[in-house]
Structure 1
Amino acid sequence: MARSERLLALLQILRRHRRPVSGAALAGELGVSIRTLYRDIASLQAQGADIEGEPGVGYVLRPGFMLPPLMFSQGELEALTLGFRWVQKFADTPMTKAASDALAKISAVLPAELRDELENTALLVGPRKVIDSEVVGLAVLRAAIRRERKVRLSYEDGAGSLTERIVWPVALGYFEETRMLVAWCEWRQGYRHFRTDRMRSLALLDQRYPRRRTAMLKEWREADMGPRRRPAPDAAVPPANAISQP
């Protein structure tokens, strides 16, 4: 194992533990001598990693240390590039720009040989199949999700009927042919899935919804309607202690 890969592996091991880990345990997992481990820890500390501890006590990595992109392995860079290219192809304009900017920042700090690999990778993303256009800005939905705010939504179902709803956005799913908002609907009193290309208007409200989004997301997942199943639009998934109305 190259030294750069070993330092990366050491950081990953420390990230898995919230309590101090003995030097012997770290050295054993890495397959190096305790003396080499001490040198590696000193090298990481010199690069800014907030590793606390000492021989005989153990070591712990404090939160906040950002791993420099130049320490990514080649496989990790390929995975990042593929993910960025997928976002560039399937996401909305603000997310596409953000992905391009992030990829450019990573590329700028890479060694020349890795930069060439990043820019010339053979991992490609297929053509986008989205046909229907969206008339609402998904940035509003992402802001509502981050800030746990309610949204007023004008929605047209598959039969062309238009309804006005107040929803609590929980997650936004990106698929090849469409995008789907997961939200608690006040009108239906249950979780619903709204296709973004059927949204006719939306407005971010000042009112926060009364539950934490993380708890709601967990509840929705436990209802076995995660992204892997491609739920039907506006399909009911009643949460615990709630009754879904027709």
Structure 2
Amino acid sequence: MRRADRLFQIVQYLRGGRLVTAHMLAERLEVSDRTIYRDIADLQSTGVPIDGEAGVGYILREGFDLPPLMFTRDEIVALVAGARMVRAYGGPAMARAAEEALVKISAVLPDTERARIDRTEIHMPLWVVSEEERRTIDTLERAVEARHVLKIDYRDEAGASSCRDIRPLGLWFWGKVWTVVGWCELRGDFRAFRIDRIASITCDGRVFKHERGKQLADFYRQMERDEAARDWAHRRSQNAP
């Protein structure tokens, strides 16, 4: 959880006029008591009226409210379009999170702007990505974050099947097709796998560490080198006698 999100959650937990201990907050937010002490001190220094002390507990004085979020018309349209795009093309967990995010944003928008969310007429078809692919997207996204080595059964464009151990590094959406980029242990190189060609995924709990030459930044550098090489070859062919 980002620190900004944690500070917001602390304020929400302190609402209601009851005493809340740092240990209770630490358990809910899965951080240490010391982290909560620092966060409370930072909130108090910015003017949030939190009373209490370490070892006793904290309470938020009545009458405090967070200022309403202010977004421009174009920002609201972008947020709505992005959430609906994730709902249409993302995994089930992503879709739920996008919907919940819109609800939270709507709850803190001024009345004059809240209606703009419903008036944003940008929509996406919901049948492009299959339900099986959606579940795969969520599985891969979590594996990328947790750095889990995955064993996948994959079939290539010609229909040939292979079993690969990959280090998933990132997901890309190409309009109708999702791919996962990863380091392929079988090929000893980066590979991009179409999600709709992955027959099965197995995770045995192995965790990989980032190694030089096998990270996403290295993949980008390789792409840049390949692109430069193609440009050079094209210019050379154009200038050939």
Q: What secondary structure, in the 3-state scheme, does the structure 2 residue paired with 1:107 have?
A: helix
What TM-score results when the alignment is normalised by the length of structure 2?
0.60
1:183-198 → structure 2 map (5 Å cutoff): 183-198=182-197
For residues 127 and 118 of structure 1, what CA distance do their matches in structure 2 show?
18
For residues 214 and 68 of structure 1, what CA distance do their matches in structure 2 show?
46
Asked if 1 retains the 8 angstrom alpha-carbon contact of 2:181 and 2:193, the reply is yes
Correspondence 1:222 to 2:226:
no
Runs of 4+ in structure 1 off by over 3 angstroms are: 44-48, 125-136, 212-215
C-alpha displacement of 1:131: 6.7
Compared CA separation, residues 146 and 212, structure 1 to 2 (3 A):
farther
What RMSD in Å do the two structures reach over aligned CA positions?
A: 3.0
C-alpha displacement of 1:192: 0.4
C-alpha displacement of 1:138: 2.1
Q: What secondary structure, in the 3-state scheme, does the structure 2 residue paired with 1:75 have?
A: helix
Correspondence 1:45 to 2:46:
yes
- What do residues 59-93 of structure 1 show as CA deviations (whole Å, max 9, x unaligned)? xxxxxxxx976133333222211111111111122
For residues 214 and 190 of structure 1, what CA distance do their matches in structure 2 show?
9
Who is 1:201 aligned against? Answer: 200
Who is 1:75 aligned against? Answer: 74
What TM-score results when the alignment is normalised by the length of structure 1?
0.59
Asked if 1 retains the 8 angstrom alpha-carbon contact of 2:92 and 2:138, the reply is no
Question: Structure 2 counterpart of 1:93, which letter?
Answer: P
Number of residue equivalences = 164
Compared CA separation, residues 45 and 215, structure 1 to 2 (3 A):
farther
1:7-156 → structure 2 map (5 Å cutoff): 45-46=46-47, 70-122=69-121, 124-127=122-125, 130=128, 134=132, 137-156=136-155
- What do residues 70-121 of structure 1 show as CA deviations (whole Å, max 9, x unaligned)? 1333332222111111111111222111111111111111111110112212
Question: Structure 1 counterpart of 2:47, which letter?
Answer: A
Question: Structure 2 counterpart of 1:117, which letter?
Answer: R
- What do residues 121-146 of structure 1 show as CA deviations (whole Å, max 9, x unaligned)? 24x14436737774662222111100
Q: What secondary structure, in the 3-state scheme, does the structure 2 residue paired with 1:200 have?
A: strand
Asked if 1 retains the 8 angstrom alpha-carbon contact of 2:147 and 2:207, the reply is yes
- Structure 1: 5+ residue stretches without partners: 1-43, 49-66, 230-246
Question: Structure 2 counterpart of 1:89, which letter?
Answer: A
Asked if 2 retains the 8 angstrom alpha-carbon contact of 1:153 and 1:164, the reply is yes
Q: What secondary structure, in the 3-state scheme, does the structure 1 residue paired with 2:69 have?
A: helix
Question: Structure 1 counterpart of 2:125, which letter?
Answer: P
Question: Structure 2 counterpart of 1:130, which letter?
Answer: V
For residues 96 and 212 of structure 1, what CA distance do their matches in structure 2 show?
32
Compared CA separation, residues 223 and 69, structure 1 to 2 (3 A):
farther
Compared CA separation, residues 68 and 141, structure 1 to 2 (3 A):
farther
Q: RCO higher in 1 or 2 (8 Å CA, sep ≥ 6)?
A: 1
For residues 201 and 212 of structure 2, what CA distance do their matches in structure 1 show?
19
Asked if 2 retains the 8 angstrom alpha-carbon contact of 1:153 and 1:166, the reply is yes
**Bigger helix share:** 2
